[in-house]
Structure 1
């Protein structure tokens, strides 16, 4: 078999560099660059060069499949054109200075598996269209200023493994559909303004490893079903308004040993029952 010459590889490399994405996708990227002050990014794009050379842009078959611009000093609001990158599987904009809202058309990104816009200054509510991104495995929007309620149809995300929304301004109850996602491994909703009860449906989180509901306004009995979550390794549900008795197992699992706030805003520790039968009778 003949050996391939270095010239062959040089030509092959040159052809791959000349490969170009569609005009729609390129326009979307340029819009993002200009809308977020690209001239001030830490690592900039040379718009005169092929898209394949732009740092953070991953292409596959001349399509943009990943965009990683984490910690790159993006300043400004996300343009609606970003939703034209319909082949994206990963969008990582973690730790920038992005303001404004999440575009309603975000649901057009049907191939997306990971969406991370955490540690920014995003406001407004979570678009219901996010629930149309059924391939989503990780949704991270923590450390923003997101308000409103969680979308009622969030349970449509049947492949979701990570839902991290802590340190926002979310209100309302935890949607009943959320308890239908049995693939969840990490559920972080702490430091919001969520209210209502933690439903017995929590038992469906059979894959859950980390649960944090710390610092909300949740009330009622702590569901004994949490003890059935055999994969649960970390839990913090303190600084809510839960009442009643808790088991020794749950009290020891919680980081702050079930420290709650009563109706007067005074910190109290929930009473630990001698056995689970006592808890069941209280529920």
Structure 2
């Protein structure tokens, strides 16, 4: 009887140790490990240990809420099982060697407020389902191989504060409904192949602090009203095809803007 009690006690504590997350979430993490050559990660996982001890995994109330594996030598593709991390709020796989398309399964992660996938080798179009992530506040996909147009659905992300899509191969125009992103503070689209006019609606982004559009094929005239945005600290539009008959004069107020135009550099944010 004593042996039986000890065995039951051992099984109980073993269950507590390994049941810190659901089987579904653990399976998703193991799929990521297997799909991205986990054995060669800079900081790898002991798959026999409790999930809450794994590098970059944050577990709260037995739920995986954050996955931060940046600078960790991930190689391969993000598996569709990522969609099983239903409580995930932060996904940071930046500075790795990930390739392929973004799996649609990410669209089911409705708790996400931050996606950081920059400096990888991801490709294909930025998918329309990105607009389903209603709680997203930070989206950084820069320095990848994304192509095609910026999806109109991205303007449905009403809570978005930072949108960074630079250094890809994006074409087409900046969505006219960009002004629907009322919470936006940073918009960076530099080093793509975007064309057409800078939409006048962009001046409705009254919370905007940084607007970086350099190194594209944008034409037309820079909306003068941008100079009236009181929060704007940085504006970069050099290396485009803009009609710069006037080079914006930076005023002497405390809210000076750092402005970069063709062959012109005015820097003065005090």
TM-score by length of 1: 0.83
Give yes or no for the alignment of 1:154 onto 2:192. Answer: no
Match of 2:52 in 1: 52
Q: How does 1:36-185 map to 2 (within 5 A)?
A: 36-185=36-185
Match of 2:218 in 1: 218
Which stretch has the larger CA shift, 195-204 or 211-220?
Answer: 195-204
Match of 1:239 in 2: 239
In structure 2, how many angstroms separate the alpha carbons of the residues matched to 1:196 and 1:105? 33
**8 Å CA contact 1:128, 1:151 repeated in 2:** yes
* Residue-pair matches, total: 248
* RMSD over aligned Cα atoms: 2.0
Provide the secondary structure at the position in 2 that maps to 1:208.
Answer: coil
**8 Å CA contact 1:105, 1:129 repeated in 2:** no
Residue 177 of structure 1: how far off its partner (Å): 2.3
**8 Å CA contact 2:78, 2:103 repeated in 1:** yes
Match of 1:4 in 2: none
Provide the secondary structure at the position in 2 that maps to 1:227.
Answer: helix
- In structure 2, runs of 5+ residues without a counterpart are 1-12, 265-270
Deviating above 6 A after TM superposition, structure 1's stretches of 4 or more consecutive aligned residues are: 13-16
Identify if the C-alpha distance between structure 1 residues 160 and 35 changes in structure 2 by more than 3 Å, giving closer, same or farther: same
**8 Å CA contact 1:135, 1:159 repeated in 2:** yes
Match of 1:274 in 2: none
**8 Å CA contact 1:103, 1:127 repeated in 2:** no
Match of 2:27 in 1: 27
In structure 2, how many angstroms separate the alpha carbons of the residues matched to 1:254 and 1:199? 20
Match of 1:205 in 2: 205
In structure 2, how many angstroms separate the alpha carbons of the residues matched to 1:244 and 1:51? 56
TM-score by length of 2: 0.87
